[in-house]
Structure 1
Amino acid sequence: MINKFVKGKTAVFIDASNIYFSEKTLGWRIDFKKLLEYFKKNTNLSRIAFYSAINPENEKERKFHDLLEIIGYVVRHRKIKFIKDKTEGIHGGHHKGNIDVDLTIDAVHFRDEYDSFVLLSGDSDFESLIKYLKAFSKRCVVMSTKGHVSIDLVRQAKFLDFKKIRAEIERK
């Protein structure tokens, strides 16, 4: 299905946080080995990169990131930070590990190494990046699911819903 939208060398950039919330809505999980195979089979894959926040004390997360690197992903992560919020009481706050800027910088930095840009995210913050890449004649595809993809992204790029490729990428 994606081969209808891409041409030439293809680079895939994965916003892990956004995918996590898409999986919750979908009710099934993505198998990242199968996802890699999907792109290898259906595109001329030049780069696949996974951007994520990580809790360095969480061994399961570290092992997952290590596995992704072993099978061929470029893995970029930032340590999760705790942001205090006084409105939440004495111990209130939330965890944050924003890595969107790193993804954007890499997409711009490596733009001469690909013809098609595939973004696995629905975050509207990436609209400017897609507009920028289109100015350099890049084909742009957004992969996400309804309810987790900004209309701004759908207007700027081809949209492929994970549901359409479930049989090829679902973790069993």
Structure 2
Amino acid sequence: MRLSTQERTCLFIDGANLYAATRSLGFDIDYRKLLDFFSTQTNLLRAYYYSALLETEEYSPLKPLTDWLAYNGYSLVTKPAKEFTDALGRRRVKGNMDIELAIDMLELAPNLDHAILFSGDSDFRRLVEAMQRKGVRVSVVSSIRTSPPMIADELRRQTDQFIELADIAEHFSRRHQDTRSRVEREDEE
């Protein structure tokens, strides 16, 4: 992993994608430790966390996390999630934050040397390419150790540096569990 304290760096965290990756790998993130880790490894200007929130519920399980992040050094970017019923009558929630993340990253490009994206979504490949054209180095944090891999192959090929989430989890996980994917653990049993 190539990180430098000389590079002006921002973190861009796709909350839903990171949550899915950490669940699949079997650990929870300590967001204070995550911020501390990247603050010591880079010249961290800001850490953005993106999440859609369902406003129709009286209590959202995301609310304590988003409140904590907002008061503890993260720039929180949220929008209301949309609730709908699909063709089979199932309740669905849609809350994509890709556009918000892409706009923020592109707007910050003139002030950055390095953008670190926490997502494996293939939709971000063009964003990574655009940032690179602006002279910004882009690292992507996700996982290929999950089954299926959490990072799209086209995004992994475009990035300047792919960082395997499981390899750095020890620096900011709440529980130091076995960070191999559930499938890998079951295969050994």
Say whether the fold is shared (TM-score over 0.5): yes
- Structure 1 vs Structure 2: percent identity of aligned residues? 33
SS in 2 for 1:3: coil
Paired residue total: 168
Contact 1:50 1:76 in 2 (8 A): yes
Alignment of 1:72-151 (within 5 A): 72-86=73-87, 88-89=88-89, 92-146=90-144, 147-151=149-153
Q: Any stretches of 5+ residues in structure 1 without a counterpart?
A: none
Alignment of 1:24-35 (within 5 A): 24-35=23-34
Moved more, 57-66 or 120-129: 57-66
Amino acid across the alignment from 1:156: Q
Moved more, 56-65 or 46-55: 56-65
SS in 1 for 2:116: strand
Contact 1:51 1:77 in 2 (8 A): yes
Amino acid across the alignment from 2:47: I
Amino acid across the alignment from 2:54: N
The residue that corresponds to 2:181 in the other structure is: none
SS in 1 for 2:96: coil
SS in 1 for 2:79: strand
Moved more, 104-113 or 121-130: 104-113
Q: Any stretches of 5+ residues in structure 2 without a counterpart?
A: 176-189
Q: More helix per residue: 1 or 2?
A: 1
**TM (normalized to structure 1)?**
0.92
Find out whether 1:152 has 2:154 as its counterpart.
Answer: yes
Distance in 2 of aligned mates of 1:42 and 1:27? 25
The residue that corresponds to 2:169 in the other structure is: 166
Deviation at 1:7, TM superposition (A): 5.2
**TM (normalized to structure 2)?**
0.84
Q: Deviations over 1:33-81 (max 9, x none)?
A: 1111111010000111000011233254222111101110000011121
The list of structure 1 runs, each at least 4 consecutive aligned residues, that deviate by more than 3 angstroms after superposition, is none
Distance in 2 of aligned mates of 1:11 and 1:50? 11
